[in-house]
């Protein structure tokens, strides 16, 4: 399989996870905030991945990330990802989630530039055209109904942190397996988020109903597979800027879900046109 196939799998997983997270954070029936949602969402995948590691060949490399060179990248990746996830989930409080995702797509610009500088990634014109088409499609999609809320700016901040984090991710998976890195990255991000305000997280856990854990677990699986497929794409030669830009097209999967499942047909023409523009961008990044 090629890096492009793994990237397509990752955006599908991310779309599922984000749809569920949006429902959780905007529900009036629970009191789960962004920080607690991050901790609870990531906890289930951590347990699953650890069990998998302990009963497979990955057990022998569980502590390989503590190599002096790799560990520094791991810490930086976890720190920036923790901040990225926090601001990312906080942006979901906006009434128009799609525009939050547009702001977060700035990560593709950050990761593309840093990838060229620090990872010697390609400088082809088709790469920049592909990234430009995808980002343009996201902007055009929301331009007419764009009412910028304060929560959208959290999405922009998240995009910057994620762009940096993705570079660190690739530097780590070059020297260790995606599965092992997945466990440690999720663990450190969860711990980092928890210790930002442990009392608030504990209080939230106390009042969270058992039924509310089910969507958190499903969302956690979505984020787990998204990261696993993304890390694997890097090991198959995927450039950070290309993978990141393609991952940003998951917004169109969210739109399709809203259309077919939630029957939301508003502005369907502009949505289809921008989706086609994004598909052309994905094609340029995946083929050329």
pLDDT tens-digit series, residues 136-195: 888 887 666 557 778 888 999 999 999 999 999 999 998 899 999 999 999 988 888 888
Asked whether the predicted pLDDT for residue 1 surpasses 70, the reply is no
Asked whether the predicted pLDDT for residue 198 surpasses 90, the reply is no
- Please list, in sequence order, all residues whose beta carbon lies within 8 angstroms of the beta carbon of residue 286, skipping any fewer than 6 positions away: 4, 7, 242, 246
Structural domain spans, the chain: 3-287
Does residue 234 sit in helix, strand or coil?
helix
Tokens representing residue 156 in the block? 């922009």
pTM for the model stands at: 0.85
**Torsions phi, psi for 250 (to 5 deg):** -60, -20
What pLDDT, on a 0 to 100 scale, did the predictor assign at position 254?
Answer: 74
Arithmetic mean of pLDDT over the chain: 85
Tokens representing residue 93 in the block? 């409080």
Asked whether the predicted pLDDT for residue 251 surpasses 80, the reply is no
The dihedral of CA 230, 235, 241, 245: what is its sign? negative
Residue that wins the pLDDT comparison between 237 and 259: 237
Tokens representing residue 139 in the block? 């902007």
Round to the nearest angstrom and report the end-to-end CA distance of the chain.
Answer: 17
Residue 143 is classified by DSSP as H
Of 88, 139, 148, 77, nearest in space to 278 by CA: 139
Does residue 261 sit in helix, strand or coil?
coil
């Amino acid at each position: 399989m090629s890096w492009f196939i793994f990237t397509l799998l990752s955006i599908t997983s991310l779309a599922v996870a984000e749809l569920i997270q949006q429902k959780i954070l905007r529900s009036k029936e629970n009191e789960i905030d962004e920080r607690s949602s991050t901790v609870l969402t990531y906890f289930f995948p951590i347990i699953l991945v650890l069990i998998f590691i302990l009963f497979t060949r990955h057990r022998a490399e569980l502590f390989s990330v503590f190599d002096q060179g790799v560990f520094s990248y791991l810490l930086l990746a976890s720190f920036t990802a923790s901040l990225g996830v926090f601001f990312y989930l906080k942006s979901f409080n906006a009434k128009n989630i799609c525009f939050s995702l547009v702001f977060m797509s700035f990560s593709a610009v950050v990761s593309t530039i840093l990838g060229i500088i620090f990872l010697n990634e390609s400088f082809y014109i088709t790469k920049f055209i592909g990234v430009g088409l995808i980002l343009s499609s996201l902007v055009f999609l929301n331009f007419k109904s764009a009412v910028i809320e304060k929560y959208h700016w959290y999405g922009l901040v998240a995009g910057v942190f994620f762009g940096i984090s993705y570079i660190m991710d690739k530097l780590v998976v070059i020297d260790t397996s995606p599965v092992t890195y997945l466990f440690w990255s999720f663990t450190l991000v969860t711990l980092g988020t928890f210790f930002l305000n442990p009392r608030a997280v504990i209080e939230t856990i106390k009042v969270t109903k058992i039924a509310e854990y089910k969507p958190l677990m499903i969302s956690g699986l979505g984020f787990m597979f998204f990261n696993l497929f993304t890390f694997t794409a890097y090991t198959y030669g995927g450039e950070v800027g290309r993978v990141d830009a393609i991952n940003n097209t998951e917004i169109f999967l969210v739109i399709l879900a809203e259309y077919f499942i939630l029957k939301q047909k508003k502005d369907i023409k502009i949505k289809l046109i921008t989706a086609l523009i994004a598909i052309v961008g994905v094609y340029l990044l995946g083929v050329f």
